[in-house]
């Protein structure tokens, strides 16, 4: 059996008396890309924060690499790379210095950041202040920061936001290489079905804070060769009634 490296069991989160995540259960196998698909506001970002220990669950449990998301969140943050919501940088510092600060936080020294900038499509930009970067460049830099310390797991929240079609394709190729060549495991959220369809090995559909369906993308393609989009739309709109 393939090893499970990300797990959520009956994960629940309540804000101001409202249950925004309800009994959310799913798992991600080592060396795979798991697509977390749902509308904006479905709860994707909140679940990712719960996995990383940035929020504490009201009930249920979550783990990454066998580490409890509440008790071991600092260890999880050091062994994962993440991009959650809009990335924040030191605007007055260069792209390279922002990456070096991240490496210092991770306890890593003497790392050349230029190869990572090249990997994400930002060659020759290391000396530029982040304040001069476009939205797409900032997103690429955020991905560079997530991968530069060679984490075992990547947890990415809408990672292609702000990228043009060329940039989206380049990041898909990069993510697949990280899995195939470096053995990373990737959990990525998106509200864009084509993005998940093109890259994910397995998909989980979240509706109103609950995962209503999990399936292998290969199986979905076989079962819905001509109506895949309609199938996913029915899940997203109808939730568990269509699961």
d(CA 176, CA 50): 25
**In a 10 Å sphere around its CB, with 0-12 CB exposed, 13-18 middle and 19+ buried, how is residue 39 labelled?**
middle
d(CA 164, CA 14): 36
pLDDT at 34: 98
User: Domains of the chain, with CATH numbers?
Assistant: 4-87+151-242 (3.40.50.300)
User: pLDDT (tens digit, 0 to 9) for every residue of the chain, 243 residues total?
Assistant: 469 999 999 999 999 999 999 999 999 999 999 999 998 888 999 999 999 999 999 999 999 999 999 999 999 999 999 999 889 999 999 999 999 999 998 888 868 999 999 999 999 999 999 999 999 999 999 999 999 999 999 999 999 999 999 999 999 999 999 999 999 999 999 988 888 989 999 999 999 999 999 989 889 888 887 777 888 888 887 654 443
pLDDT at 2: 62
Whether the predicted model's global pTM rises above the 0.85 cut? yes
pLDDT at 241: 44
pLDDT at 238: 67
Strand partners, 10: none
pLDDT at 233: 81
d(CA 179, CA 199): 11
Other beta carbons within 10 angstroms of residue 26's beta carbon come to 20
d(CA 152, CA 149): 9
> H or E element: which one contains 14?
strand 4-15
3-class secondary structure, 94: strand
d(CA 39, CA 205): 9
């Amino acid at each position: 059996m393939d090893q499970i490296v990300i797990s959520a069991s009956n994960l629940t989160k309540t804000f101001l008396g409202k249950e925004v995540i309800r009994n959310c259960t799913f798992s991600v196998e080592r060396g795979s890309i798991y697509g977390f698909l749902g509308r904006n506001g479905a709860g994707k970002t909140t679940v990712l924060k719960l996995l990383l220990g940035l929020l504490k669950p009201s009930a249920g449990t979550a783990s990454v690499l066998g580490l409890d998301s509440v008790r071991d969140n600092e260890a999880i943050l050091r062994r994962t790379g993440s991009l959650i919501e809009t990335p924040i940088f030191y605007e007055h510092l260069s792209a390279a210095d922002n990456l070096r600060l991240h490496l210092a936080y991770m306890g890593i020294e003497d790392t050349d950041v230029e190869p990572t900038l090249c990997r994400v499509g930002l060659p020759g930009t290391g000396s530029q202040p982040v304040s001069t970067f476009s939205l797409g460049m900032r997103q690429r830099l955020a991905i560079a920061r997530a991968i530069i310390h060679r984490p075992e797991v990547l947890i990415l929240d809408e990672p292609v936001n702000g990228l043009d079609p060329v940039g989206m394709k380049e990041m898909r190729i990069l993510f697949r290489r990280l899995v195939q060549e470096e053995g990373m495991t990737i959990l990525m959220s998106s509200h864009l079905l084509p993005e998940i369809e093109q890259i994910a090995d397995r998909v989980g559909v979240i509706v109103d804070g609950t995962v209503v369906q999990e399936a292998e993308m290969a199986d979905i393609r076989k079962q819905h060769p001509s109506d895949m989009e309609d199938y996913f739309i029915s899940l997203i709109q109808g939730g568990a009634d269509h699961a």
